[in-house]
Amino acid sequence: MSAETGTGRPVGPDLQVVEPVRMDPHVTAAEALAVFQRKLPGALAAVQAVHHPFWWAALDVRTRGLFRRSASGPGQRMDVLVNAVSGRGMIADFTPRGATAGSSEWSSLIGGQSGPLPTRDEAERTARSLARAKVVKTVKLGMGIEITPAGGLRGVLKPNWIVSGGNAKHEATILVDGLDGSHYIVRVDKVGQS
Amino acid sequence: MNIETWFLLIYFAAMAGIGVWTLKVGSKGSEGYLLGGRSLGAAVTALRLQSSSMSGYMFLGAGSLAYTKGYFSLWYAMGDIGGGVLNLSILGRRMRKLSQILGSLTSIEYLEHRYPSKWIRVIAAPVAVFCIFFYVMSQFIAGGRGLEMVTGIPYAWALLIAVGVIVFYTFLGGYLAVAYTDFVQAIIMLIGMLWILIACLQAVGGWTAGNEAVGQINPNLLTMWGPDGIESVQWGVIVGAVLVFSIGYMGWPHVNVSHMAMKRPSVARRASLYATGFNLLFIPAPYIVGIMALILLPTLDNPELAVFAVADTVLPDFAVGIVMAGIMAAIMSTADALLLQSGTIASQDLFQRFVKKDMSDQQSVWVSRFTVLVLAVIGYLVAVNDPPAVAEVVIFSTTVLGAAFVPVYIAAAWWKKANVPGAIASMILGTVSSVVWQLTGLVDVTGVDPMGIGIVCSTLALILVSLATQRSHPVPAHVLKAMKETDKIGAIPPSMLTGQNDSLAGQVPKDARDER
């Protein structure tokens, strides 16, 4: 079912991972098709499962008072996913779980991308600054924040659906998020238009 | 350069700084530019809502009303105090949720999605832009006058500076810039106003002594019935006075857009607490100061300057600077919210809808910015050459906006039978009745405020026409489904979201992109 893409461009050792986690989709193929048909009523379409590589940083975040040197209390675990292609981060409201995939699958996905990819260090920095920004928004002014990584960066293959098809008027391809069912329109053309 | 001017310069620089800072976060896509990426918390939502709707009116109009009519002016204050909490309680959570389910970015687009017909936008957008333009122009004039008074520079230059600063930060960051500057400005307004009130009450020997002195001028000023006593009361005008700022508030597209920018629908509940707290502290103050000005400045030429003049009399120089920054804050926060709203309506509701449907996000942002600039230039030219009376323009445009939009906004969120013909009839009748009532002088003949008559006409039109056309124009199933979901408390199921998730753009596989 899963049709991975990638040309297998060799990737440097810095970007390779051991045993990435391949997450299972929460949204079914039928639900992804329904999203497509809501945009294009009466459309016939093909659904294809794809995965997208993310760096996963688990961070322990603790706050401390303005005049205290060290943080106290257990703090909070934050799971941050950083897009291994675009470098954009997001704070996950879930802990990634799933089967272990082969490192060749990760390398194939990463190697298939053109253009510069974010390095591990950049991904780690993005994750930390995102976690910091999130906490700064909620804590009192002047409060100190301590962020410590709980283990190193791991690779995660996040599930999505690519749905392509059309009705009498339009042909389109959309990407449906495999976790929350939100969508992104990749292309839409009028029938008869190239 | 005097100390007041220094304070204003620091204030302008700080506000522009916020604009520059939000440039990075605010304009990455149209959802960011227009709604701040639906990311605002309760405090920012509430104070933004309040400061953008209070406007220069609180410093000019409220003081003037109190100076001329005494405690009668508190009818307006009552509407003001309840307006924020009513708006957030009635529309806040539901409008936030429904707008996201329907994928709406602007408050006019929200109406069109709820009442699916292009005629909704064809009617609503011009009415909104027209009224908002007049309102924003009145804020320009008030800003120019305020700056002229503090700095002593000629009106034309003062106006240019005020308009320039407002446009500068609206231009830079979009909604996020406006929302955060409005938040800061609400706090400055509150501090400034309370400072004047405390100093004013000290100067008259306390509230009781002040009231006794006012009673000696005219005992009727101490009653709620106006200087001529209860015999001369026009009950229709009192009803209108309470309506304008309480429920009238819910018809302002530029105020309602802040519901759509909340981080979560549940933010509305906490925001209404903040709004109430702010209102209770802030709103009575200019009215009380205006009344006490009768004792401190009994021979004031222009009652609109009552609050300014009291501040000048009772405060030390440096404090006048801070308070003037507060007054400019009120004026500017309203003006920038209005300007942005006009830009939004032009780009999303008119240009993208009717001219260039495949407009990109970046183009949409630039159309908004261009519109803001054009409106600012036209507003400046009118305001500098032949400035109309501020209060009249504000009340007229507020009344028309309220009469045209209050029933359609409320019914959009609450009444499942409200349909397209009902909404069209309501907006047309609300606009026409309030404009005709105002222009033909029926207010004086009947003693009924145009706001009151406008709201009654538009509400009746909505109810009667909707009920009469249920069979021919049923409310579409997807709207009913969205409204049922809106009834529930809790997160929106992703499957119901019709707007696209732009953050997924970075997850499109290369071969799917190459097919384009």
Structural domains in chain B, CATH included, are 3-390 (1.20.1730.10)
Nearest to B502 among A137, A162, A184 (CB): A184
Nearest Cα neighbor of B297 from B224, B231, B213, B177 is B213
Angle at A144 between CA A142 and CA A145, to 5 degrees: 135
Q: Which residues of chain A have pLDDT under 50?
A: 1-7, 194
SS3 letters across B368-409: HHHHHHHHHHHHHHHHHHCCCCHHHHHHHHHHHHHHHHHHHH
Check if B511 contacts A (Cβ < 8 Å): yes
Does residue B479 or residue B426 have the better pLDDT? B426
The per-residue pLDDT for range B148-175, each reduced to its tens digit, is 777 778 888 988 988 887 787 666 555 5
Contact B508 A186 (CB under 8 A): yes
Over residues B480-495, mean pLDDT: 77
| ipTM metric | 0.82
Q: Is a pLDDT exceeding 90 seen at residue B433? A: yes
Measured distance CA(B416)–CA(B304) in Å, rounded = 44
pLDDT of residue A4: 43
pLDDT at B387: 66
B494 shares contact with chain A (CB less than 8 Å): yes
Residue B146 Cα to chain centre, angstroms: 20
- B31: pLDDT confidence band, cut at 50, 70 and 90? very low
Residues of chain B positioned with their CB less than 8 A from the CB of A180: 494
How many angstroms separate the CA atoms of A167 and A120, rounded?
43
Q: How confident is the model at residue B381, as a pLDDT?
A: 87
User: Average pLDDT in the B292-308 region?
Assistant: 85
pLDDT at B304 over 80: no
Question: Are B512 and A114 inside 8 Å of each other by CB?
Answer: no
Lowest model confidence (mean pLDDT) among A1-10, A48-57, B120-129, B185-194: A1-10
Contact B508 A175 (CB under 8 A): yes
Mean pLDDT over residues B263-268, rounded? 74
Q: Which residues of A touch B (CB under 8 A)?
A: 5-6, 27, 31, 34-35, 38, 50, 52, 83, 85-86, 88, 90, 112-114, 137, 158, 160, 162, 164, 173, 175, 177, 180-187
Residue indicated by tokens 């149209």: B30
Q: How does the average pLDDT of chain B come out, rounded?
A: 79
- Contact B506/A35, CB-based, under 8 Å? no
Say how far apart CA B25 and CA B29 lie, in whole Å: 10
- The dihedrals phi and psi of B470, each to the nearest 5 degrees, come to -60, -35
pLDDT at B459: 94
CA-based radius of gyration for chain B: 23
| Residue B289: predicted pLDDT | 94
Number of neighbouring beta carbons within 10 Å of residue B103: 13
| pLDDT band, very low/low/confident/very high, at B32 (cuts 50, 70, 90) | very low
Say if CB B468 and CB B77 are below 8 A apart: no
Q: List CB contacts of A93: < 8 A, sequence separation 6 or more.
A: none
Higher pLDDT, residue A115 or B378: B378
Sketch the domain layout of chain A as residue ranges.
13-190
In this prediction, residue B35 carries a pLDDT of 46
pLDDT at B358 > cutoff 70: no
pTM above 0.80, yes or no: no
pLDDT at B515: 57
Residue B424 pLDDT level (bands cut at 50, 70, 90): very high
The answer to whether the CB of A59 falls within 8 A of the CB of A150 is: yes
Q: How confident is the model at residue B294 (pLDDT cuts 50, 70, 90)?
A: very high
Q: For position A45, what pLDDT does the model report? A: 92
CA–CA dist A61, A139 (Å, integer): 12
Residue holding tokens 């292609």?
A85
**In this predicted structure, what is the pLDDT of residue B37?**
47
Distance of CA A117 to the CA centre of its chain: 14
pLDDT band at B178 (very low <50, low <70, confident <90, very high): low
pLDDT at B389: 62
Per-residue pLDDT at A66? 53
